[in-house]
Amino acid sequence: MSFCTHATPLRVRTRAGRAPLAVNFTDLSTGSSASWNWSFADGLWDGVEAGQFWMVNGMRFYNINSMDEGTHPLMKDSDDDAWTDGEEVNHVIWPLRTEPLMPDTDEDGLIDSIDPDPLDAMNNTMPAEWHRSEFVQGLILSDISSSDPRHRNEAFSWGQDISQLACFGSARDLIAQAYNGKRGPHLMVLLAGSIPVGNLAKAEMKAITYVSKFDDPALRLTKFSRYSTNMGLFSGNKMGYLRDVVDKEGAIPGIIAHGGTEAGVIRIADSAATMKTEVSYQKIQTFLETPATGKFAPKTRETAEACLERKWNSHKNDQSWINKPATKEEYLQRGTNLLNRRDAGVELYYQDGYDTLVVYDRNANEFVSGRISGDIITYYAPDNSIEHYVDITIRNRLIQIN
């Protein structure tokens, strides 16, 4: 790490070391400084207002954040998508910038740097040759190439997963099938068919070893889900494997203690491979343990109070209320109470694609969803005049936890 101090004379005592590295800057300029700005070669200015610090044992500690964007000031690429923060904020190609804190801005499964249009989730079609190439690289070069963010895609990941169990002869057949257009679960089925019955236990042990090496709890759950749902592994004692192999953080007991069930834990695992949003048992536990804040989730250009006003006006006259709230204050209080419930009288769901917790009281026909922070997103009485709303939604994106 090197420092250039053209504008303001600074003294830097620590210039190198292991991350995370604490660096002390001493301002040698005369007069009083209102703020300091600097950049670590990512194209964005970083800085902190003068006077914003904490005293610990007589020493000053400054909170450094990248100005305006909230990016990491010591990282050129905060979201690890192979584009620097400055390239994403000041992009010369896209009329609307990509998000420097989201590797996949439009959440279509392709990181921004390889997405044909990183701002349009509907425009994510990659050439067949690209899919084939990524799958083969994952199958053959997974350990060498996996750290490159450009390989963070489904085709590479399927090849990587399959490579852990396939012998060379099977791999040859799998490569041929990949070039014929088969990808994903189809190849898992082909691999499963090539494993002799007597070697099933050996295949499970290989899969366990592979799944266990991932530090990211969401990635562990996704990998386990693929082997389990597409290959039929772990069927003998799935709950035991989930506790011992996937849930290294010990979140499952917390889920069950706060309204979840073992059946719900298994449903989450069975769905993880096809979810649009990353989920882990830690996240589900946090959802269930966090109390409701008693306010609606604010938006970029809307305060929590304004959001409450809009939702109240939108739903106060819903015809499906069995017991209609009389005032805005009652509406907010009842939504808060429902989001806090974990008893047997409600249904608890994780809502995939929206990354929210849903609590539904079927008897009262009241539906509330909330963020992991405890803020309410919406609260209303679903219209069940044609087909039950929640049952329709379950088929699409709700995964029951209890």
Least trusted range by pLDDT, from 109-123, 142-156, 259-273, 334-348: 142-156
Which pair of tokens denotes residue 141? 């070069």
Question: Domain map of the chain by residue range?
Answer: 1-125, 128-274, 304-400
pLDDT bucket at 245, cuts 50 / 70 / 90: confident
Distance CA 61, CA 84 (A): 27
Mean confidence (pLDDT) of the chain: 75
Residue 68 scores a pLDDT above 70: no
Question: Which of residues 202 and 305 earns the better pLDDT score?
Answer: 305
Distance CA 118, CA 120 (A): 6
Distance CA 62, CA 57 (A): 14
How high is the pLDDT of residue 178?
A: 55
3-state SS class at 366? strand
**CA angle, 372 then 376 then 378, to 5°:** 125
Tell the CATH topology of 304-400. Nuclear Transport Factor 2; Chain: A, (3.10.450)
Question: Which of residues 218 and 22 earns the better pLDDT score?
Answer: 218
Contact 347, 362 (CB under 8 A): yes
How high is the pLDDT of residue 257?
A: 95
Q: What pLDDT, in 10s, does the model give residues 135-180?
A: 767 766 655 555 677 777 777 777 777 666 655 445 555 555 555 5
Q: What is the identity of the amino acid at 302?
A: E
How high is the pLDDT of residue 298?
A: 87
Task: Tell me what percent of the residues of the chain surpass a pLDDT of 90.
Answer: 27
Least trusted range by pLDDT, from 54-58, 85-89, 163-167: 54-58
